[in-house]
Chain A
Amino acid sequence: MKNLEQKLQQQVPRRVPASWREQILTQARESAGAAAGKASDRGEEHLGVGEPSWITLLIGWVKAWVSPSPAALVTLMALWVATLGFNLALPEEKPVSTFAQASPSAPVPAVVQLSLLQQERLRRELLDLTPEVSGALAPPLKPPAGLPRRSAVVSPYHYA
């Protein structure tokens, strides 16, 4: 192996073309001057050469923002935690009934009308609403003849 290595090392790399020196140095100085001018115009320093890709810029930005500053990282984490807490603290969304979603002008089905009517009737019976009030809600129910009115049965005056 040593012989091969020695043999390879005998090869002499090409020399850098002499004309490049002035060209490269001149261009570097001009570029630095132009960059300094732009930076002073913008009030910031221009970094890098050429047009880096957006992913490079993004990674560089994240690194620059987080890596050298633990405080920034802690702030970011605190923001995440606060967001999560806020999200958990929000009341759960109540399910909206189908009737609420329906258009007010939509016709109510007959079955529903009947059901509502029965519900109202029961409610009126339980609360024993007066005819003035209950009349506005639904047609009064007529008790069968011969039976006392319910209000007469439960009235406190009955025991007086």
Chain B
Amino acid sequence: MAEGFDLERLYDSHAQALFAFVLQLTSDEAETRDVLQEIFVRLARRPELLAGVRDERGFLLRLSRNLTIDWVRRREARDRAHETTRVNLAEVFLPLTDPDEEAFRRALEVALGTLPLEQRTVVYLKLWEGLTFDAIAETLEIPLNTAASRYRYALDKLRDQLRPLYDEIR
């Protein structure tokens, strides 16, 4: 296996999606970089990880989800130990020029930050990765109904939080 070539191809094919996904979960650019780094270090060390994998993107999303959860838990434990809270959350979506749209974007990022990690994961995969519930269930190794219900609950919460802005923009 030509590791260098494959690693570059993997990066070019999936890094953007993994970056957006992990950033959505961590809201922290430095952590996102660390997770991304760790994913590619693992792939470089053990190229056989991808041997026999049908869906590369699904596999990498699952790997990044697992690593991100570990990372976030460690950080939360650290924050608890030092009694600190993060104040500067990284921007997840591109800034917009229209003030109303920009206000909505900011409100959306805040609202997404209030969702449990599991719901945020499903919302991201459904809305921005464009996966079906079947694919989400397979990627996250959860039942189909769980994926669908997590999405529904998350969307209800987002609607409640964004309704004033959303109605205004509409």
- Chain B contributes a number of interface residues (CB within 8 A of A) equal to 38
Q: How far is the CA of A50 from the CA of B46 in the complex (A)?
A: 14
Closest to B42 in A: A49
B82 within 8 A of A: no
Q: How far is the CA of A25 from the CA of B7 in the complex (A)?
A: 7
CB distance from A9 to the nearest CB of B (A): 5
B interface residues (Cβ-Cβ under 8 A, vs A): 3-4, 7-8, 11, 15-16, 19-20, 23-24, 33, 36-38, 40-46, 91-94, 104-105, 108, 127-128, 155, 158-159, 162, 166, 169-170
Give the contact-size bracket for chain A: 20 to 34
Q: How far is the CA of A36 from the CA of B44 in the complex (A)?
A: 10
Q: How far is the CA of A28 from the CA of B44 in the complex (A)?
A: 6
Q: How far is the CA of A12 from the CA of B23 in the complex (A)?
A: 13
- Is the CB–CB distance between B20 and A11 below 8 Å? no
CB distance from B131 to the nearest CB of A (A): 13
A27 within 8 A of B: yes
Stretch at the interface among A14-22, A58-66, A76-84: A14-22
A96 within 8 A of B: no
- Is the CB–CB distance between A14 and B155 below 8 Å? no
- B43 proximity list for chain A (CB < 8 A): 28
- Is the CB–CB distance between A13 and B23 below 8 Å? yes
A-B contact pairs, 16 of them (CB 8 A): A4-B162, A7-B104, A8-B158, A11-B108, A12-B94, A13-B24, A14-B23, A14-B94, A16-B36, A24-B36, A24-B37, A25-B8, A27-B37, A46-B45, A48-B42, A49-B42
A32 within 8 A of B: yes
- B162 proximity list for chain A (CB < 8 A): 4
CB distance from B163 to the nearest CB of A (A): 9
Q: How far is the CA of A13 from the CA of B19 in the complex (A)?
A: 9
